[in-house]
Amino acid sequence: MIRLFSRLMPRERRFFELFDQHAGLVLQASGVLIELLRGYDERERRTERIARILELEHGADKVTRETMSLLHQTFVTPFDRDDIHRLISRMDDVLDSIQDTAEALQLYDIERLTPEAVQLAELLRECCVRMQGAVHQLATLEDSELVLRLCLEIDSLESQADRVLRAAVSKLFREESDVRQLIKLENIYQLLESATDQCEDVANVIQGVVLENA
């Protein structure tokens, strides 16, 4: 029985390694997105930064597939199987939204961005920082209060992003005379805010895991 348990433990640890890898890729992508938006006038760097986000998204997809495969192969999991599935899927949703934002900038041929778009990206980055910190703590749950606090901070940041979105859209309708530009920018705002919503979804999964297992 002891030998059986010892064989299962490496697989349990592997789940947490995969969670960490994925959260790290999301965090990197959020950082590249800020570089893209802040330096949007640097036309020669746009393609490079968008390509980097796509590369990170492909890497995260591989981690997600490996996690799903491990989930199907593992009899004893570190916590509820549905929560494992939800956690990795919700993290993947965040990176998908970051990718969608980067591709939309290119697809819509947007020539100029606003400070509000950058502000939303910065709030997203702060959400990702806390998400990565909370995910990293799951392996031991030695400080469940810290994890719950990080989840609450993500919730607060998401609320800030909601307010920024509303103000940004209102400003667009008041000040932007080019209807096409208005539609393009509003969609970028919505994509960025959606990514913060998805960070909150991740936080909700983590919060549930902590409350059930701490």
**177, two tokens:** 């005379």
pLDDT of 214? 67
Angle of helix 2-38 versus helix 81-107 axis, rounded to 10: 20
Q: Phi and psi of 130, rounded to 5°?
A: -70, -35
What residues have CB less than 8 Å from 161, skipping those under 6 apart?
120, 123, 124, 127, 192, 193, 196
Residue 103 reports pLDDT greater than 90: yes
CB 77 within 8 A of CB 71: yes
**Each residue's pLDDT tens digit, 48-77:** 999 999 999 999 999 999 999 999 988 888
The C-alpha atoms of residue 113 and residue 209 are separated, in whole angstroms, by 39
Of 2 and 140, which is predicted with more confidence? Answer: 140
**168, two tokens:** 């940004």
Please name each of the domains of the chain with its CATH number: 2-213 (1.20.58.220)
Query: Which pTM value belongs to this model?
Result: 0.92
pLDDT of 7? 41
- Give, as one character, the DSSP assignment of residue 74: -
Distances (CA, A) of 132 to 6, 118, 126, 159, 204: 28, 21, 10, 19, 14
The C-alpha atoms of residue 87 and residue 174 are separated, in whole angstroms, by 40
Distances (CA, A) of 31 to 57, 98, 107, 109, 126: 13, 10, 21, 22, 10
Of 113 and 142, which is predicted with more confidence? Answer: 113
**9, two tokens:** 């433990």
- Using the structure block, give the residue that is written with the tokens 């330096």: 39
